[in-house]
Amino acid sequence: MEVTMDPLFLAWSYFRRRKLQQCSEICTKILHDNPYDQAAWSLKTCSLTEMVYIDEIEVDQEGIAEMMLDENSIAQVARPGTSLRLPGTSQGGGPTPAVRPMTQSGRPITGFVRPSTQSGRPGTMEQAIKTPRTASTARPVTSSSGRFVRLGTASMLTNPDGPFINLSRLNLAKYSQKPNLSKTLFEYIFHHENDVKNALDLAAQATEHAQFKDWWWKVQLGKCYYRLGLYREAEKQFRSALNQQEVVDTYLYLAKVYQRMDQPVTALNLFKQGLDHFPGEVTLLTGVARIHEELNNISSATEYYKDVLKQDNTHVEAIACIGSNHFYTDQPEIALRFYRRLLQMGVYNCQLYNNLGLCCFYAQQYDMALSSFERALGLVCSDEEQAEVWYNIGHVAVGIGDLTLAYQCFKLALALNNDHAEAYNNLAVLELRKGHIEQAKAFLQTAASLAPHMYEPHFNFSILSEKIGDLQSSYTAAQKSEDAFPEHVDTQKLLKQLRQHFAVL
Amino acid sequence: MTSMESGGDGGKWLDAHYDPVAGLYTFSSCVDLADLSGDGENRLVVGDLGTGSSGMKLKVYRGTALMSENTLLDLPAGLVAFFMDLHEPRIPTTAVASGPCIYLYKNLRPYFKFTLPSLEVNTLEQDVWQQAREGQIDPLTLKEMLESIRKKADVPLSVRSLRFLSLETDGLDEFVQLHKQQPIRRQTVITCIDTLKKSTADEDGVSCLVVGTESSDVFILDSKAFIILSKMSLPAPPTMMDVTGQFDVEFRITVACRNGNIYILRRESDKPKYCVELPSHPVGLVRVGKNVLVGCTDESLQGFTQKGKKLWKIVLPAPITTMAPMDLPTRGFQGVLVGLANCEVHLYRDKNLLSTIKTPDVVTSICFGRYGREDGTLIMTTKGGGLMVKILKRTVVFDDRDSAPGPPLAQSIRLNVPKKTKLYVDQTLRERESGVAMHRAFQMDLSRVRLAAAKAYVKALESSLTPMSASLSEPLKMNAVVQGLGPSFKLTLHVQNTAACRPVMNLAISFLYDENLYRIRDPYMRIPLLVPGLIYPVGTFVDCTNDKGITDIIKVFVLHEGRSSPLLTAHINMPVSEGLALS
């Protein structure tokens, strides 16, 4: 005779092994037999939540509405080092754009792609709605509708009988009295249904029931307020939760609120406070490093990433960021070490081999450079990645003086990714060397329109125009180049020369 | 007057007065200091330009207060105070040049008006107007005839005829009726004015007026009888003037002209004696001792000798707005004050910078001299109409900081070169040991990469994957921009003909896309004739018909009529459509 396991225990076991689909199926059966089984109901909400759970702290992308219609920004011209919005407020620690390329928002490119490293703050509405080259999707309209709504509604499609819990018929007041059910119910509403307003209602009633003594509910209230864009209220809730109970998560949420309110210095202080209570906490250290990086203070960001590595020597983000910083500060051999470490840890993708190839080439380890690129080409999973690899091979070809190969590589990069502004720029220089002035001009114009944040196309166009005698175009292009990179000495020289030329009789 | 230390220029100047809303809009040529009431206290006389069309005033300041105001009829071109007779008490006369006239004020009251002699009038023009007066020709014919005179004649037309020529047809008749009775006159306009001592070099000696006109002449006027003592002509209209010497003995007039040259006139001849050709237009002319200093539009200050030999040139940090001499005879100091567009006033002796004054606004006029009873007073007016008075400290010592010898400062700044790491040394060792093997491996890899690149390139060319066409007959380039949040996107293709001079015709655009996902409003478009060099934007709308957040590539082909293979292709990665989730 077969001994059947208690179905609830089996479901619980499935849940712990993260076989969430099976778990929820068993719970559905139990509930079919006994609709009032609270344990099964609770377990099912948990498993459904886990299926769509995403880390609230990490996922953070400012939508167009938040960025362009921001009510919280007061100071348009912030003092240097106090705002995340002005990319130019570097404290002198970072490399110049001549050494380290810039992203669209005017920050040096980072070694590790996170949701917020791509975004930056576009200057105009047109820039905001243009598809950025590096991310293959446009920006979400607002973070409270776009992505999150889809995550919530996707699960509804799989359920032919309609939703598991009908929120509109739910008596929130009743559930808020039951602490053992209300927490799982809240997470279900917040993560699975993505109904922030109902979640907020529930949390408000539950925290009242707990006589404002449960820090957990306060954090949840803060999360709801954050989602709704009520940052000041969220700050209040998180602060109050922290007074009751020191939790790393709460620190991270609160820092997120401060970053959204564009108060990086307050966020840094908060992280320091958190590090006093939780010394060596990796997530807090990473947070500090990220803020320093966004403030363009690369050298101190690197210091903090090094601290992260002391605590957790397999932290991919820290290794990648330190590696890229070494690469751009003229120490490719050390960068190579860091990337090799990533390889040893099992990161095995196109981007890594791409970086390895470049590091090998610039560290004069020529025997490994091109084979790394070949590996990278073998591992590509999208056209954009392939374009980047060809672009880098093109750089190597320029380095060894094989201009035919370089020309082919840049053209291939363009064939695979039509918006590759850097490739357009380099191709223009090659065309100019061949004497094809019209072609070079057209490419430079395209590069400048694709990436107005880069100074190179403007500067090259300026030089080209100056050579063919079109001083007016040269002057306007040089001014654009100066806007993109004010410290560029060659641009300054050219501008001075042009001004002299205009003043002479 | 308050005395406050001003920190920016090493405490050389005392801030005496600053009124940012004095409402004084003027230039250095219209500012002078003179003892107008004969009590030994100097007043500030300013020809205020007002708004440029109204509100021109002659203003006199005493201390910090406005003492009197006289309305001027026209924009002042220059203002000088001078002694015209030997009467006691010695009260100077103020001469204001505006338009063709010089207005003289004595005791702050209008006293005399002198008008320059009118110029020769074209006889043909006179005849034509005569005919018009007698009604022999209608206004239209008059206009035609004047037009032909203007083109041919050596003597330019009068202002009236020029105004008439610029009128529309319907206003002609009225104009002729209004003006035909008056005789035609041709007037010149004064551009600059200065004074020249008559026979003695005394401080209060009688002076003549020297006037430069738009008709490229320089007149010297006797101030008693107001007759023209001397007339000299220049190749171009003068803009600035500096006069030295005595009329009866020997004098020298340095004139900066509108053609960018500086001419030096002497007593003997009525033609310029020397000429200096400047590299750019002059904006200021000041004589210091025996040298002439010229500020130019190329942000430079240049020094010349009396005979026009170039001595030196220095480059300034910003464009010059105005210049004025600084003469302190009690201390034997002579220098030049230069107002710059970066809100600074520099004091130079020869080419050495002695003092820098920071001002809250751009200075448009500078005057240095005796004001009130204080000898070293600097008076400046700003672009925003402010008045600033500073007093030179009596204890101040100007020491020449000549350009320091030795290596430039930048040489001692250390460059931030990263240290060579131990790792690097190890790697170079490896290179040294196995250099041959590394080279071989690299060459082999390089051949492989070349092959791979060539293969991929040929594939791309064969299927015209690149966004620029390689064919010599139709060198085209295209790039695509997708804008929007979805479900409707705007797709703009920028097509450009990169040929040197040949246009391209008969082109069309077509798309390849998944019809389950997207709908394009104009799936086939014809491109107009492409002129070389211009960018042609071709736009259409793409609607995303799918709500699952799936994206796809849209391929764009540029086709030539009658050919099956595309000229070029662009792949557009469509962004995720956000719009449906909202609705």
Closest residue of chain A to B500, computed from CA coordinates: A438
Closest residue of chain A to B437, computed from CA coordinates: A367
Question: Helix, strand, or coil here: A14?
Answer: helix
Asked whether the predicted pLDDT for residue B581 surpasses 70, the reply is no
- The pLDDT assigned to A477 comes to 94
Considering CB atoms only, which of A153, A366, A414 is closest to B442?
Answer: A366
Is position A166 within any domain? no
**B351-405 per-position pLDDT tens digit:** 888 888 898 889 999 999 988 888 889 999 998 889 999 998 888 877 765 555 5
CATH number, position A346: 1.25.40.10
Closest-CA distance, A409 to chain B, in angstroms, reads 7
**Subunit contact A415:B466, Cβ cutoff 8 A:** yes
**Subunit contact A367:B484, Cβ cutoff 8 A:** no
- Count how many Cα atoms sit within 13 Å of the Cα of residue B291 in the half-sphere of its side chain: 19
Domain boundary among A378, A409, A443: A378
Q: Which residue has the tokens 């108060």?
A: A263
Q: What is the 3-state secondary structure (H, E, C) of B304-329?
A: ECCCCCEEEEEECCCCEEEEEEEEEH
**Which residues of chain B neighbour A406 with C-beta distances below 8 Å?**
none
Q: What is the 8-class DSSP label of residue B29? A: G
Q: Per mean pLDDT, which of A145-149, B48-52, B431-435 is the most reliable?
A: B431-435
> Are both A423 and A495 inside the same structural domain?
yes
Is position A429 within any domain? yes
Is position A199 within any domain? no
**Subunit contact A369:B442, Cβ cutoff 8 A:** yes
Which of B330, B335, B334 lies closest to B370, judged by CA?
Answer: B330
> Are both A349 and A425 inside the same structural domain?
no
**A388-430 per-position pLDDT tens digit:** 899 999 999 999 999 999 999 999 998 888 878 899 999 999 9
**B411-448 per-position pLDDT tens digit:** 777 777 767 788 888 888 888 898 899 999 999 999 99
Phi, psi of B348 (to 5 degrees): -115, 140
**Subunit contact B299:A503, Cβ cutoff 8 A:** yes
**Subunit contact A64:B485, Cβ cutoff 8 A:** yes
Is position A495 within any domain? yes
Closest-CA distance, B168 to chain A, in angstroms, reads 35
**Subunit contact B477:A64, Cβ cutoff 8 A:** no
Q: How far apart are CA B491 and CA B540, in angstroms?
A: 5
Task: Determine the length of chain B.
Answer: 583
Percent above pLDDT 90 for chain B: 20
Asked whether the predicted pLDDT for residue A205 surpasses 50, the reply is yes
Could you tell me the two tokens for A72?
Answer: 């919280």
Work out the angle at residue B208's Cα, subtended by the Cα atoms of residues B203 and B209, and round it to the nearest 5 degrees.
115
Which of B521, B519, B569, B574 lies closest to B549, judged by CA?
Answer: B574
Average of per-residue pLDDT values in chain A: 81
Q: What is the mean pLDDT of residues A40-50?
A: 88
Q: What is the 8-class DSSP label of residue B484? A: -
> Are both A426 and A484 inside the same structural domain?
yes
Is position A10 within any domain? no
**Subunit contact B439:A366, Cβ cutoff 8 A:** yes
Closest-CA distance, A126 to chain B, in angstroms, reads 8
Q: Which of A68, A99, A130, A131 to mutate to test the interface with B (most CBs of B within 10 A)?
A: A131
Task: Determine the length of chain A.
Answer: 505
- Find out whether B62 and B69 touch, Cβ atoms under 8 Å: no
Considering CB atoms only, which of A329, A393, A505 is closest to B280?
Answer: A505
Closest-CA distance, B531 to chain A, in angstroms, reads 12
**A433-463 per-position pLDDT tens digit:** 998 888 898 899 888 888 888 889 999 999 9
Find the helix or strand (DSSP H, E) in which B242 lies: strand B238-246
Which of B249, B226, B201, B215 lies closest to B120, judged by CA?
Answer: B215
Q: Which of B444, B466, B479 to mutate to test the interface with A (most CBs of A within 10 A)?
A: B479
Closest-CA distance, B464 to chain A, in angstroms, reads 9
- The pLDDT assigned to B364 comes to 92
Report the Cα–Cα distance between both ends of chain B, in Å, rounded.
72
By mean pLDDT, which of A462-466, B7-11, B153-157, B246-250 is the weakest? B7-11
Considering CB atoms only, which of A405, A442, A505 is closest to B498?
Answer: A442
Q: What is the mean pLDDT of residues B480-489?
A: 80
**Which residues of chain B neighbour A370 with C-beta distances below 8 Å?**
442, 445-446, 448-449
Q: How far apart are CA A236 and CA A242, in angstroms?
A: 10
Classify the phi-psi angles of B486: left when phi > 0, otherwise alpha if psi is within -120 to 50, otherwise beta: left
> How many structural domains are present in chain A?
2
**Which residues of chain B neighbour A64 with C-beta distances below 8 Å?**
485
Closest residue of chain B to A403, computed from CA coordinates: B450
Q: Which of B544, B576, B583 to mutate to test the interface with A (most CBs of A within 10 A)?
A: B576
**Which residues of chain A neighbour B445 with C-beta distances below 8 Å?**
367, 369-371, 374
Q: What is the mean pLDDT of residues A18-31?
A: 89
> Are both A366 and A429 inside the same structural domain?
no
Closest residue of chain A to B420, computed from CA coordinates: A331
Q: Helix A282-294 vs helix A316-328: angle between axes, to the nearest 10 degrees?
A: 30
**Which residues of chain B neighbour A390 with C-beta distances below 8 Å?**
453, 456
Q: pTM of the entire structure?
A: 0.66
Q: What is the mean pLDDT of residues A285-300?
A: 87
- The pLDDT assigned to B255 comes to 92
**Which residues of chain A neighbour B435 with C-beta distances below 8 Å?**
none
Considering CB atoms only, which of B450, B573, B579 is closest to A405?
Answer: B450
**Which residues of chain B neighbour A131 with C-beta distances below 8 Å?**
481-483, 573, 575
Is position A430 within any domain? yes
> Are both A424 and A499 inside the same structural domain?
yes
Q: Which residues contact B232 (CB under 8 A, 6 or more apart)?
A: B217, B218, B253, B265, B269, B270, B271, B272
**Subunit contact B448:A370, Cβ cutoff 8 A:** yes
Domain boundary among A378, A396, A426: A378
Which structural domain range is residue A362 located in?
321-378
Is position A494 within any domain? yes
Which of A449, A443, A409 lies closest to A428, judged by CA?
Answer: A443
Is position A447 within any domain? yes
> Mind giving me the DSSP string for B346-393?
EEEETTEEEEEEE-SS-EEEEEEEEEBTEEEEEEEEETTS-EEEEEE-
**B222-234 per-position pLDDT tens digit:** 888 888 888 898 9
Closest-CA distance, B411 to chain A, in angstroms, reads 17
ipTM of the complex: 0.78
**Subunit contact B494:A446, Cβ cutoff 8 A:** yes
Phi, psi of A20 (to 5 degrees): -70, -35
Could you tell me the two tokens for B465?
Answer: 């994957």
Average of per-residue pLDDT values in chain B: 84
Domain boundary among A329, A357, A378: A378
> Are both A366 and A440 inside the same structural domain?
no
